[in-house]
Amino acid sequence: MDEVTYEKAIFAGGCFWCMVEPFDKKPGIQKVLSGYTGGDKPNPTYKEVCTNTTGHREAVEITFDPNVFPYSKLLDIFWQQIDPTDSGGQFNDRGESYKTAIYYLNETQREHAQASKKELENSGKFTKPIATDILPAKPFYPAENEHQDYYKKQSFHYQLYKKGSGRADFIKQHWKKQYTKEELKDKLTATQYFVTQENGTEQPFHNEYWDNQEEGVYVDIVSGEPLFSSLDQYDAGCGWPSFTKPLDRQSLKENLDTSHGMRRIEVRSEDADSHLGHVFDDGPIDKGGMRYCINSAALRFVPKHKLKEEGLEEYLSLFH
């Protein structure tokens, strides 16, 4: 097997707590570090950077396999986490240390960054100028341990902060596709609409994917967001597609469901807010013990041989 040659990317997107989660767990991404860069003071501390006097900005350093997850896709994810028109910080966080930037480590990254910024400017998505800087990389200094993987270590506070700062609502409003009921009724079959928009449940054993044996990836029927892999699918005997885990837990939301006189944990997609199904703790113990019981009507299956054609080539690395 060929040895993997990893590359690095550095992005400043405001509070670095919120810039780890979107990249973490994506295929081909080995590590995401929170830290500081852009200034001249060696080994700055969090308190020093927050004074906005060091020249440093909060940033993330991503170690990735470009053959699996190319730099251009990292740029796509980066833009969709920020307000690129804000020249004074991000959301509630103000000052130099919270300004956005793409720090390029070589000429190829610089060209990709400038092209992506130009594409965003020409898209008309924002009426204000794009304020994100594109700068040559300077030394990157990892932040203190308590700031690493904050979204996992302090998940409740992290979610409150992401919402309270205004970032979550901005992303939903400006970066996520919004559908009207009429658009969804045109886009979906009656069953798909019933399941995803009205929290419905399809018939067991009489649905498209309950016994699928083909390799591939399942995406949200509404948004196309990748949700599950056939590698994690198993026959739970319930008549619906069952999975031991999602591709990325951040692509799902879990809510308490007390309908029909039961207490269950509902599973919804993060991007489209589609009702998918429920998660139970009666799955295979050796696979983590969870069973994601999902409606076929909430999914679209992309077979392995079509992943590249549909822009999902990074998931080919799952299938050897």
Neighbours of 143 (CB within 10 A): 21
The residues carrying an active-site annotation are 15, 293
As a whole number of angstroms, the distance between CA 76 and CA 175 comes to 11
> Pseudo-torsion of CA 184, 188, 189, 192, nearest 10°?
-90
As a whole number of angstroms, the distance between CA 309 and CA 153 comes to 37
Neighbours of 308 (CB within 10 A): 12
227 neighbors 220 (Cβ within 8 angstroms): yes
